[in-house]
Structure 1
Amino acid sequence: MALFLAAIGFGLWGLWTTVISPDDDPNKVAELRRRNERLSQDVSTLRRSDQISREANRDLQRTLAERDEEIAGLRADIAFYERFVGATGQRRGLSVHDLEMRLQNGDVWHFVATLTQNLNRGAVNSGRLTLSMEGTRNDRLERLSWSSLRKQNNAPGLGYSFKYFQQVEGEVMLPAGFKPLRVTVRLVPAGGSTAEQSFPWPDTLH
């Protein structure tokens, strides 16, 4: 494309310098000028088209890379769950397999907790989930309860109900100046023992 544009530009220069002379007919000069303007417009259009094509190609490559990364992550998740529910999967009771935290806006954070259990195959496990955080504010250690994170007195936990695994999502709000160090997920089942799992803050960020 660049070579083609250069050739057109060189042709325009040659057309203007070799064809037109002071003795040429005014009508011929006017026609050549019009042709020159049309060719100049064509060159500008081609250059813009080439730029758009390059930008579109970069966007496409970036999108494909993002999709490849997403597919790889989904395949890894599928492989894990297949092993988990399969006959060879290690038997485990109610637990928190993973916790992801994503900043939404301001001090609001969206979390996704992945809950698992395969000890009692086929049995439904239900209950409520809460979070708490440990961190620092004004150089002092501080612990935030679920109600503090939800900005609601006696905030109820988020419900869950599953046989093998479930992702529970919600939002929490951190106070200004609070720097998290650790997040603890607490599961209170309708029947059975409470389960807790703590995650270092950096490990939860996605």
Structure 2
Amino acid sequence: MTVVKGSKQYPLKIVKYRPWRRAAGIVVASFCLVAGVFASYYIGHREGMAGQEQALLDVARLEKELSSNARAMEDLKQQNANLNLGAVVDRQASEGVRQEVISLKDELAKLQEENSFYRNLMAPTGNKRGLTFGAVEIVDTDTPRSYQFKVVMQQLATNHQLLNGTLSFNVIGKLDGLDASFSLNQLSEQVSSDTIRLRFKYFQTVQGQLSLPVGFEPERIELVAKTTGNKPVTAEKRFGWLVEEA
């Protein structure tokens, strides 16, 4: 063997050539790579599906809770509406009962007044005898400065006789700041003269409607009743201008 001086010598190894091993290695590596990719995809897909399924379950649960809460809210609204309606009905019922009680009290008061009126007519007490004034009323109307009036004349006696006489009805007040007096026939179309004829045994009611002139402020009413006959009687009375509501 020829040796060349000055060059370094390296050991040599002779390997048998096997080309199929390289191909197999490439195949195995490729398989491992594909398997890894598939495994990663599968695991990710499975986890994603699991997460999506859980999300769907959560959505379904929330929708169920929302529906339940909505029903509960509607129930509460209905209960509140029922309570409000019940309160309104109770108030209306209470108001109806209150108005009925007031009406019954008014009716009872009128009956008691009428009973007292007739009892005094038939059996007067004290020194009250002969011609007297009963109820005197001035009641407001819907028309401005227009009023309903009523005067009841009565005879208090144990032995009633037919009375004849007259009644004068005057309203006293101020007209544009000055003293003024108007007789009933000047204020009411239902009265034609300055005196009203009286003819009764127990009682007589004089009533109608009067209207006050513009600028006139009433202060009082003056009534004078006179009987005719052998023993004439005069009864006088003054009332402040007090208006009752209709």
State the TM-score, normalized to the length of structure 1.
0.68
1:56 to 93, 97, 107: 93
Structure 2 equivalent of residue 198 of structure 1? 237
> How many pairs align?
185
**Partners of 1:76 and 1:154 in 2: CA distance:** 31
**C-alpha RMSD of the superposition:** 3.5
CA distance in 2, matches of 1:24, 1:117: 92
1:121 aligns with 2:159: yes
The answer as to 2:183 corresponding to 1:145 is yes
Contact 2:139-2:147 within 8 A present in 1 as well: yes
Q: Percent identity?
A: 22
Residue 129 of structure 2 corresponds to which residue in structure 1? Answer: 92
- Structure with more relative contact order (C-alpha pairs < 8 Å, separation 6 or more): 1
**How far apart, CA to CA, are the structure 2 residues paired with 1:142 and 1:88?**
38
Higher mean alpha-carbon deviation, 31-40 vs 172-181, is at: 31-40
CA-to-aligned-CA distance 1:61-89 (integer Å, 9 cap, x gap)? 25424532552353244234313312756
Q: Which amino acid aligns with 2:183?
A: S
Match of 1:75 in 2: 112
CA distance in 2 between counterparts of 1:121 and 1:137 reads 45
| Rounded Cα–Cα distance in structure 2 between residues aligned with 1:158 and 1:140 | 27
Classify the secondary structure of the residue corresponding to 2:81.
helix
Rounded Cα–Cα distance in structure 1 between residues aligned with 2:192 and 2:87: 61
- Cα separation, 2, equivalents of 1:118 and 1:63: 35
* The one of 188, 200, 206 aligned to 1:162: 200
Question: Gaps spanning 5+ residues in structure 1: where?
Answer: 1-20
Cα distance in 1 between the residues matched to 2:164 and 2:239: 26
Structure ID, larger Rg:
2
Q: TM-score, normalised by structure 2?
A: 0.59
> Aligned in 2, Cα 1:31/1:197: closer, same or farther, shift over 3 Å?
same
Residue 178 (structure 1) aligned to one of 216, 225, 240: 216
Deviation at 1:51, TM superposition (A): 2.7
Give unmatched runs, 5+ long, in structure 2: 1-57
